[in-house]
């Protein structure tokens, strides 16, 4: 959520930002907010005047009673009662207008960074840099689901009977590889100075609306029936929510945390859930990183965070690239974002394995995350980034380490987490 002061003072800038995101249907929100805000401020002023009059009259009552002028005091009491009634009605109208302003402000996108390329959707994202040399072997690489099944590590048929499409059983050495990736990623981030955390896997609705837009919420979140709880789609949600309504000390910043969690997503609006793979699924596990910092430090942290993901993938020998997300591909709360994509030798192209985002103060405004400064309190900046999401990481590992005999080489850095196992071989 942007600062309403910015909208008041520079509505044209806000409108231009909406146009850059190709959300022209939201332009009307700016004028509606300006009108409602003006009404609300007028109502507030009237309320202040009523309270001032009530205070003056109340003071007179005491003086009149001391002077024994009981009848005059009773008349003024009636006036005070009338003001109280009018004030109650005024406060009700003020609350209504404030709610209407907030509802519209929540739908207005964050101001994008000046470096963000302008484009309508992800097809117009811009490649920044490649890391590692993509290799296409001179032998065929099967679909990742087939590889995992031949290794005795994936059972989609049983999962479909139990839960439907979009779920899976991982078994044996493949399941162990999955856990090894998460454990390695955890230690990798701890060695970068991040604090390890296992957060709640469910959050309340006021946290959900604080960390994401309504459109994202509808497309992603699973609601717990009969309770004000949602399953998290990423641990960023509960990690940022940890600081809700807090006033943080400048001396304690930045907060740098890495978290493990299962993640649950409806994938509403997606092109369907794959029946034979684990690329797009309803349930997965992930190692995440978040930073809560001072505004002037957020873009320095942004560059550090995505570089950590690059370093992690390269340590496993997987070629990757970074893509700058264009304006139309940015979720409403994001000011700047880049995707990390891993090389697929089977498809001979890159695919997304992580995303790094700077949300500036948009989440902090929604959640009330402030910093106590020498000249007063101000809103923090929040950032998040995928360290690794193993189902997709498994795809990149098995494809980039697939051998002609159907076996898969275990990346060297993961072997200590696999009891020294160097290779996973097909099951008869």
pLDDT in tens, 182-220: 999 999 999 999 999 999 999 999 999 999 887 788 888
pLDDT in tens, 140-172: 999 999 999 999 999 999 999 999 988 999 999
386 with 360: CB under 8 angstroms? no
Residue 82 DSSP SS3: helix
Confidence of residue 275 (pLDDT cuts 50, 70, 90): low
pLDDT at 74: 81
Task: For tokens 């990183």, name the residue.
Answer: 289
The DSSP code for 402 is B
Residue 238, pLDDT above cutoff 70? yes
Q: Which residues pair with 381 in a beta bridge?
A: 293
Confidence of residue 274 (pLDDT cuts 50, 70, 90): low
- Give the residue from 247, 246, 244, 240 showing the smallest Cα distance to 373: 247
- Give the residue from 328, 332, 405, 320 showing the smallest Cα distance to 142: 405
For 70-207, list the strands marked E by DSSP: 126-131, 154-155, 169-170, 195-197, 202-203
Contacts 24+ apart (CB under 8 A), 214-222: 214/106, 214/107, 215/332, 216/331, 216/332, 218/268, 219/266, 219/267, 219/268, 219/269, 220/265, 220/266, 220/267, 220/268, 221/266, 222/264, 222/265, 222/266
Least confident of 68-82, 95-109, 252-266, 371-385: 68-82
pLDDT at 268: 59
Where does residue 133 rank: exposed (0-12), middle (13-18), buried (19+ CB within 10 A)?
A: exposed
For domain 122-424, give the CATH superfamily. Answer: Bira Bifunctional Protein; Domain 2 (3.30.930.10)
pLDDT at 356: 98
Residue 61 DSSP SS3: helix
pLDDT in tens, 282-334: 999 999 999 999 999 999 999 999 999 999 999 999 999 999 999 999 999 99
pLDDT at 75: 85
Query: Domain 4-105 class?
Result: mainly alpha
Measured distance CA(246)–CA(180) in Å, rounded: 35
Measured distance CA(394)–CA(424) in Å, rounded: 13
Residue 272, pLDDT above cutoff 70? no
Residue 358 DSSP SS3: strand
Across the chain, mean pLDDT equals 94
Tokens of 153: 């590590």
pLDDT at 61: 81
Measured distance CA(112)–CA(40) in Å, rounded: 28
Beta strand 255-264 with 195-197 is: parallel
Measured distance CA(108)–CA(115) in Å, rounded: 20
382 with 333: CB under 8 angstroms? no
Q: In what order do the strands lie in the sheet with 247-249?
A: 247-249, 370-373, 376-379
**Which residues of the chain does CATH 1.10.287.40 include?**
4-105
In sequence order, the 6+-apart residues with CB closer than 8 A to the CB of 401 are: 317, 408, 409, 410, 411
The DSSP code for 189 is H
Confidence of residue 365 (pLDDT cuts 50, 70, 90): very high
Confidence of residue 259 (pLDDT cuts 50, 70, 90): very high
For 265-315, list the strands marked E by DSSP: 283-293
Mean pLDDT for 227-243 is 96
**Which residues of the chain does CATH 3.30.930.10 include?**
122-424
Residue 255, pLDDT above cutoff 60? yes
Confidence of residue 405 (pLDDT cuts 50, 70, 90): very high
């Amino acid at each position: 959520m942007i600062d309403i002061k910015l909208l008041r003072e520079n509505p044209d800038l806000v409108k231009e930002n909406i146009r850059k995101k190709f959300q022209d249907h939201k332009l009307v929100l700016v004028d509606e907010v300006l009108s409602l805000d003006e009404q609300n401020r007028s109502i507030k002023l009237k309320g202040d005047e009523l309270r001032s009059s009530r205070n003056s009259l109340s003071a007179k009552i005491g003086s009149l009673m001391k002077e024994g002028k009981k009848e005059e005091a009773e008349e003024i009491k009636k006036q005070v009662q009338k003001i109280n009634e009018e004030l109650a009605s005024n406060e009700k109208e003020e609350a209504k207008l404030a709610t209407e302003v907030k509802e519209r402000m929540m739908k207005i996108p964050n101001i994008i960074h000046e470096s963000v390329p302008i484009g309508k959707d992800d097809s117009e994202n811009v490649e920044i840099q490649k890391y590692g040399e993509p290799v296409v072997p001179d032998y065929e690489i099967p679909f990742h689901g087939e590889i995992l099944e031949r290794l005795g590590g994936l059972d989609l048929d049983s999962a479909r009977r139990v839960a439907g499409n979009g779920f899976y059983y991982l078994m044996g050495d493949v399941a162990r590889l999955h856990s090894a990736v998460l454990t390695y990623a955890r230690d990798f981030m701890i060695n970068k100075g991040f604090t390890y955390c296992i957060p709640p896997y469910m959050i309340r609705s006021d946290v959900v609306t604080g960390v994401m837009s309504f459109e994202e919420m509808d497309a992603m979140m699973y609601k717990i029936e009969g309770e004000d709880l949602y399953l998290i789609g990423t641990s960023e949600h509960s990690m940022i929510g940890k600081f809700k309504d807090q006033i943080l000390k400048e001396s304690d910043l930045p907060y740098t945390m890495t978290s493990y969690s299962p993640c649950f997503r409806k994938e509403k609006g997606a092109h369907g859930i794959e029946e034979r793979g684990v690329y797009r699924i309803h349930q997965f596990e992930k190692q995440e990183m978040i930073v809560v910092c001072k505004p002037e430090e957020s873009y320095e942290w942004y560059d550090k965070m995505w570089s950590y993901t690059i370093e992690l993938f390269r340590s496993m020998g997987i070629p990757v690239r970074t893509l700058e997300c264009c304006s139309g591909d940015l979720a409403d709360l994001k000011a700047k974002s880049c995707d990390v994509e891993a090389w697929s030798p089977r498809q001979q192209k890159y695919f997304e394995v992580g995303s790094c985002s700077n949300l500036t103060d948009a989440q902090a405004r929604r959640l009330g995350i402030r910093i106590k400064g020498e000249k007063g309190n101000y809103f923090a900046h929040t950032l998040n980034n995928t360290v690794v999401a193993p189902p997709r990481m498994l795809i990149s590992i098995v494809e980039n380490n697939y051998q002609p005999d159907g076996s898969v080489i275990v990346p060297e850095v993961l072997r200590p987490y696999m009891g020294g196992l160097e290779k996973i071989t097909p099951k008869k």
